Chains A and B, each alone.
Chain A
Amino acid sequence: MRPLIQAIKGGIGGYLIGALVTWAIQGSGSMSDPVPVTFGVIFGLIGWLMGIGVWNVWAREWFGLPPKHQVASDWRRYFQFSTDHKVIGVQYLVTFITVLLVGGLMAMVIRLELAGAGEGFIAEDTYNKVMSMHGILMVAVAVAGILGSFGNYLVPLMIGARDMAFPRINALSFWLIPPVAVTLLSAPLIGSFEAGWTAYPPLSVIAPGDGQLLFNLGVIAFGLSSILGGLNILTTVATMRAPGMSWGRLPIFVWAAFAASLISVLFTQFFAASLVLIHLDRIAGTTFFGAAAGGDALLFEHLFWFYSHPAVYIMVLPAFGVALEVITHFSRKPLFAYKAVVGAFLTIVGLSAIVWAHHMFTSGMASYLHAPFMALTEAISIPTGVVFLAAIGTMWRGRIWFATPLLLAAGWVFNFMIGGLTGLFHADVATDIQLHDTYFVVAHFHFTIIGGSIFGLLAGTFYWFPKITGRMYHERLGKVFAVWVTLGLNLTFLPMFWVGVNGMNRRIAVYPEELEAVNRFISFAALFLACGFLLFVGNLLWSARRGEKAPDNPWNASTLEWMLPSPPPEHNFPLLPEIVGHPYGYGLPESRHAELAAAGGE
C-alpha cells in the first residue's frame, strides 16, 4: 500500500505547490480562484503519478538513477504501478464496474426525482449536477470499460505476446484514472456544475464557481489516458503478434479493440481541445465562444461532436468484438463472414469521422449540411448490418450453449438492434427536428450504450471470469442476472420512447403532469434494473473467492488465451506460441489455431 500513500501525498503536495505558486505569482485574490485551482489540479495530478510509481519505475532513469521496481505478487500489486497488462486489465475492470455502480446510483436519484412531475425530492440545481455527473461517469465507463479491461488483459494473450508494447505507458494510462475520478466527483461539490457532460458554452463558460474547471481538467486527463491506451493497443497489435499471427488470423475481439483504438487516437484530442478553449474563456479572458466579442458557440458544438460521435464507436466497437467472440465460441461455429466483419469495423472507423453534425440538425448550422450528414449517418447502418449478419449467421445451425455469456451476447443483439433502428429517427432530419433533445433520444442512446456497450462488458466479464480469476462464476445466478437486466433495460427504456414522442424533453427535473404515470412506471422499472446488479456484484465477489476452480479452458474455446493456465502466468508464454491457423476452426477436428511451445527443457 506504500505507493498508494505516496501517491496521495504527492497529489495533495502537488496541488498545494501548484496552487500556492500561482497564487503567489498572481499576487492577489484567493487560493480558490480559477487559475490557482487549475494549476493545483495539474500539479496534483503530476504529484499523484510520481508518487504511485512513475518516479520509481520510470523517471529515475531520466536522471541516470537505477529504477526501483515494485515486486509485490499478492493482492497488493493491484494498488501499485504494475506494468503487467493482466494486472492493469483487472485494475480497469474493477475500477469501471465500480464507476458503473456509482453512475447507476445517480440514475436512481434521477429516477426518484422523475417519479413525480413537479419539483419534489431534490432541488433543480442538485438535479442538474446529478444528471451531469451521471452522464460523464457513464460515458467514461462506456469509453474505457471494455477497452481498458479486456483490451489490456486479452489483446496480448490473444495475439501471443508477453505484454503490451509500452507497459509503463499502460500503467500510466490506468493510474491517470483515480485522480480523474476524484477531480470529476468533486466538481459538483465545489459548486456550479450544471452544463451536462456536453458542456456547451456559453453555459459552461458563465456558470459561476469552479466545478466546471474541475470537469474540464478531469475530462482532459481522461482523454490523455484514452489516447495513451489506444496508442498502446495499436502498437501492440501492429508489432507484437506471435509468429504466424497474420492480420487475417486475429481473433475478432482484437480487430474490434484495434478499430476502437484508432478512433481514440484520432479523435479524443478534439474534445480535449474544445475543453481547453472553454477553460481559457473562463480563466484567461479569451472569447472563443463569447458572441459579444466575436466568438461562436457553434464552434464548440462542431469540435465537441467531432470527437463525441466517433466516441460512440469507441464505446460499441469493443462490445461488437466481445459479443461476436462469445457467439462464435458458444455456437461452436466459425465466425460468419469474418473478413466482411473486419471490413465493416474499418468502414465504421472511416464513417465515424464524417457524421458528427447529425447531432446539430437543430443547432442553426448552415442548412445545406443537413442532407449530406443525414445520408452519411444512415450509411453507417450498412457496416453495422454486417455485424448483425455475422451474429445471426454464426448462430444459424450452430450448437448453441446458453451459458451466461451467450445469453448476454444474445441480449446485446436484441438491445443494440433496438438502439440501431431507433437511431434512424435521429439520422432523419424531419423526425430529428422533433425528437432531438427529447426522451426519445435518451431511450435511443441508452439502448445503444447499455445494450451495445455495457452488455458487451457484462458478457465479457462472465466469459473471461474463469481465465482472469481461476474460478468459475455461479452459472445459475449468472443466467438469472442476464435475463433480469435484459428485461429491466427494456421495461425502463421502451416507455421512454413514448414519453419522448409525447413531448417530454430531456435533462429536466419538472415535466408535464400527463406524463407522470408512465414516468413513475419507468422509475420502478429502473429500480428493478438496478437491483439486478446486486446479483452481478454478489456473484462475482462470491465466485472470486469461493467459486469452483476453473480449468484452463472451461468453454472448450479455440483462441489462444484458453490454451494458457487460468489465471495465466506472469509473462504469459514461456516461449512464443506459433500460430498455425484460423482462430475459429470449429467443425474441422484437425484444425488448429496455435501450437504452444513447451517451456525450455521439458
Chain B
Amino acid sequence: MRRDGLIVVAIWAVLTAIGEFAVVTWSMLPEGYAREADVVNEAYLLLLILAVPVFTFMLSMLGYSAVRFRSAGQPHDDGPPIHGSPKVVAAWLAITGGLTLGVVINPGFVGLADIRGSSSADMVVEVEGQRWIWKATYENGGLAEDELVVPIDTRIRFDVTSADVVHSFWIPAFGMKIDAVPGRTTEMFVTTERVGSFAEDGNLRAQCAELCGLSHSQMAMPVRVVERAEFEVWLENLPRDETGTEEGA
C-alpha cells in the first residue's frame, strides 16, 4: 500500500508541474489599462497557482483509484473495513485550513487593500446610468454620452448613481465595476496607466453588468485613455451640461 501512495505522489508531482507551467506561461488574462486591473490579474494568477495542486491531487487520487482499485464487474469481496483515521482527518483539516488561511491573507486581504488603494483622487467623474445609456459629467461641467475619455497616469474617482434601476458600471480593461444604485452614490477608483481605445481593445468600454431590462446587452459606452494634453483639449471641446435636471424616466 505504501507503493500505491508513492505512485500517487509521483503522479501528483508530475501533474502539478505541468499544471503550474501551463498556468504561468499560458495565461488567459487580458491586458489591463489600469493599476487595478493588474491587481486583479495578480490575484487571479496567485489563486490559479494555489488551486492547481489541489486540483491535481484530487485528480491523481481519483484517477489512480479508478485504475488500480477497479473491479471488473460486480465485486465478490469487500475492501478493507477502514472507517477513517482521526490522524488523516486532522492532517487534512490542517492542510485545507492552512491553505484557506493563506488565501484569505493573500490574495484576500492583501489584494483587497491593494485594489482599494488610497481614497484620494486626481479627478472626479460623475456617472449616471439610465436605461440604456451612461452619462459622464466632468468637473468642468462637460457632459459625455458617446465616449468616456480619461487621461493616463491619473487616479480617477467615479461617483456612480442611477436614474432608474440598478445598473453596474464595469470597465473590463480597468478590472473594476461598481453598481449604479438609484438613490445612492457609489464610488469606484481607477488609476489609469496605459493608453488605448475601444477600437483597439473591446474591453475598453463601460458596460452595464447588472441586468436592467430590455437593452441591457447594448448598454455600453466606449472608453479611451489618452495623454494628458490630448485629454485637456478633448475636455475643452466637450459640450457643457446646461439642462441641470434630466427628464423623468
Q: Which residues of A contact B (CB under 8 A)?
A: 124-125, 127-128, 194-196, 198, 200-203, 206-207, 291-292, 295-298, 331-338, 340, 362-364, 367, 370-371, 374-375, 378-379, 381-382, 385-386, 388-390, 392-393, 395-402, 410, 413-414, 417-418, 421, 424-425, 428-431, 433-434, 436-438, 497-498, 501-503, 505-514, 555-556, 582, 585-588, 591
Residue of A nearest to B185 (CB): A364
Closest CB-CB distance, A340 to chain B, in whole Å? Answer: 5
Task: Give A513 to B59 CA distance when docked, in angstroms.
Answer: 36
Closest CB-CB distance, A120 to chain B, in whole Å? Answer: 12
**Segment touching A, from B76-84, B141-149, B228-236:** B76-84
Q: List 8 A-B contacts (CB under 8 A).
A: A200-B165, A331-B69, A333-B82, A336-B84, A398-B69, A402-B70, A428-B103, A512-B202
Indicate whether B7 reaches chain A with its CB closer than 8 angstroms. no
A338 to chain B: which residues have CB within 8 Å?
Answer: 83-84
B71 to chain A: which residues have CB within 8 Å?
Answer: 399-402
B43 to chain A: which residues have CB within 8 Å?
Answer: 428, 430-431
Of residues 41 through 70 on chain B, the ones whose CB sits less than 8 Å from some CB of chain A are 43-44, 47, 51, 54-55, 58-59, 61-62, 65-66, 69-70
- Known contacts A297-B181, A386-B93, A436-B209, A429 near B108 by CB under 8 Å: yes
- Known contacts A392-B62, A505-B209, A336 near B82 by CB under 8 Å: yes
Closest CB-CB distance, A154 to chain B, in whole Å? Answer: 22
- Say whether A434 contacts B177, CB under 8 Å: yes
Residue of B nearest to A509 (CB): B217
Indicate whether B124 reaches chain A with its CB closer than 8 angstroms. no
Question: Contact check: which of A297, A417, A514 meets B183 at CB < 8 Å?
Answer: A297
- Say whether A399 contacts B112, CB under 8 Å: no
A511 to chain B: which residues have CB within 8 Å?
Answer: 217
Indicate whether B215 reaches chain A with its CB closer than 8 angstroms. yes
| Other contacts beyond A385-B93, A437-B170, A514-B202: 6, CB < 8 A | A194-B211, A371-B108, A386-B89, A434-B44, A434-B175, A437-B168
- Say whether B79 contacts A203, CB under 8 Å: no
- Known contacts A200-B210, A298-B181, A363-B181, A421 near B75 by CB under 8 Å: no
- Say whether B65 contacts A398, CB under 8 Å: yes
B116 to chain A: which residues have CB within 8 Å?
Answer: 367
- Say whether B165 contacts A437, CB under 8 Å: no
Question: Contact check: which of A375, A382, A413, A505 meets B170 at CB < 8 Å?
Answer: A505
Indicate whether B109 reaches chain A with its CB closer than 8 angstroms. yes
Task: Give A514 to B204 CA distance when docked, in angstroms.
Answer: 13
Closest CB-CB distance, A501 to chain B, in whole Å? Answer: 5
Task: Give A106 to B88 CA distance when docked, in angstroms.
Answer: 45
- The interface centre, meaning the residue of A200, A397, A428 with most chain B CB atoms within 10 A of its CB, is A428
- Known contacts A298-B184, A424-B51, A434-B40, A388 near B179 by CB under 8 Å: no
Task: Give A374 to B80 CA distance when docked, in angstroms.
Answer: 41
Task: Give A513 to B198 CA distance when docked, in angstroms.
Answer: 13
- Say whether B83 contacts A401, CB under 8 Å: no
